[in-house]
Amino acid sequence: MEKNAKIYVAGHRGMVGSAIVRKLKEQGYNNLILRSHEELDLTDQLATRKFFEEVRPEYVFLTAAKVGGIAANMKSPADFLYENLMIECNVIEFSRKYGVKKLLFMGSSCIYPRLCPQPMKEEYLLTGPFEPTNEGYALAKVAGIKLCYYNNMQYGTKFISLIPPNIYGPGDNFNPVSSHVIAALIRKFHIAKTENHRFVEIWGTGNARREFMFVEDLADGAIFLMNNYESSEWINIGVGEDITIKHLAMLIKDIVGFKGEIRFNPSKPDGMPQKLLDISRISALGWKAKTSLIDGIKLTYKWFLKNIWRDLK
């Protein structure tokens, strides 16, 4: 990407989009195009078409999405499927029609089969059934990845798809209903510490394994791939190791300073048994994540205290 290129970050207020904006500015990209949801509803086809026709961005980071944890996905699968399909179809289609040089679509590791061999390689996509608890979201993400792939094949576009693991960090969603696991646990443990609770209850058995990546590392990797990756094949990005939810909970408990006990509720779903990405392809390109899980959680907790907790007290 040229330093003065017109770069549109779709979803710039979200955790991933805002991190990409910060990283772009750090690297000297200052001609950024940003629109809030109030300014541009990407599920609105006519509005999205008008935006691309008038603004003509040269590069697009498509991070806008409806996201949430297990509870939110189970409660609203139709919403997760519909809204994500509409966003990605509109942005990808009009990026092609109005001459975007390159687009990066942000996928998700939940696209891989529920009982996928570990670590999950790119070629394992669509080799088995999805995890039922997030099937709507996964279907939408696979559609976006395939839409990029088919546009490249049919029209010669340069649309790439990136598959990250579970992401966390500054800007995360700490809503108790719709948050992902690290944000949810930080909030739970901090409230329990503040209110002197005897225990914290966590969904599932604690045995599920997950790979977690700090959002600033994802942003750095996304920009790296935009500048160094041309293949139509989707590519994994991650840290190369995972952790059980039980050990993650113990780690966050210690960082927050909660002294009570942890109780797991096995009547609630675990989700996929394991999600560890094979990162051989991106490693071969020379890119590697820099932030350890402990350091990343400490930075996220610090951000939570400064930006979220003060408004909840």
Whether 137 is catalytic is yes
Active-site hit among 137, 149, 168, 301? 137
- Do 110 and 131 meet the contact criterion of CB atoms below 8 Å apart? yes
- The DSSP 8-state label assigned to residue 267 in this structure reads T
CA distances for 96 relative to 26, 43, 48, 176, 270, angstroms:
28, 17, 13, 38, 39
What whole-number distance in Å separates Cα of residue 308 and Cα of residue 313?
9
Helix (H, G, I), strand (E, B) or coil at 159: strand
Q: Is 171 left (phi over 0), alpha (psi -120 to 50) or beta?
A: left
Residue 290 one-letter amino acid: K
- Do 27 and 223 meet the contact criterion of CB atoms below 8 Å apart? yes
- Smallest CA-to-CA distance from 63 within 101, 107, 102 is with 107
What whole-number distance in Å separates Cα of residue 136 and Cα of residue 78?
7
- Do 148 and 105 meet the contact criterion of CB atoms below 8 Å apart? yes
- Read off the tokens for 104: 């990066």
Which residue numbers are catalytic?
137
